[in-house]
Amino acid sequence: MRTFVASAKRADSQWHVIDAEGKVLGRVATLTARLLQGKHKASYTPFIDTGDHVVIVNAGAIKLTGDKEQKKIYRRHSGFEGGLREERAVDVRKRKPIRLMEEAVRGMLPKTKMGDAMYRKLKVYAGPDHPHTAQQPKKIEVA
């Protein structure tokens, strides 16, 4: 009996749209990471990108539980001495609301070239509109 190994050429990539309005950030991010990696498919292969494209709308209206809105800190570094920048989640939401979702999903993907390819298949929009209607994305509900 032969073992099935998926190939990148034969992987059928579908498009999914997730409405994040009023949903918890972590729940949406875990579902998105699973879809991007292709773990929801029977043909999942760890070393081949068999994942789907994901469009997240209304990311500006995502919900953070507890005190995370005031206490969660986002850090980035310029690479220069003293180049550490810190911002609270409430400030990040005002300045660039899609960054909350992008960083949550990025942290759940592999830190490899393949993880970068998976991340490129993620499209996040702060409002309800997106330009990917031609791909006929399927609506996914988050629990």
3-state SS, one letter per residue, for the chain:
CCCCCCCCCCCCCCEEEEECCCCEHHHHHHHHHHHHHCCCCCCCCCCCCCCCEEEEECHHHCECCCCHHHHCEEEEECCCCCCEEEEEHHHHHHHCCHHHHHHHHHCCCCCCHHHHHHHCCEEECCCCCCCCHHHCCEEECCC
Q: What is the pLDDT of residues 64-113, one digit of tens each?
A: 999 999 999 999 999 999 999 999 999 999 999 999 999 999 999 999 99
For the chain, the average pLDDT equals 95
Two tokens at 85?
């920048």
Is pLDDT at 7 greater than 90 in this prediction? Answer: no
Percent of the chain with pLDDT over 70: 100
Residue-range domains of the chain with CATH: 15-64+96-137 (3.90.1180.10)
Q: What is the pLDDT of residue 40?
A: 94
- pTM score > 0.85 for this model? yes
Report CA 26 to chain centroid distance, whole Å. Answer: 10
Tell which residue, 50, 3, 15, 26, has the closest CA to residue 107: 26
What backbone phi and psi angles, to 5 degrees, belong to 28?
A: -70, -40
Q: What is the pLDDT of residue 53?
A: 97
Q: What is the pLDDT of residue 11?
A: 78
Percent of the chain with pLDDT over 90: 85
Q: What is the pLDDT of residue 8?
A: 77
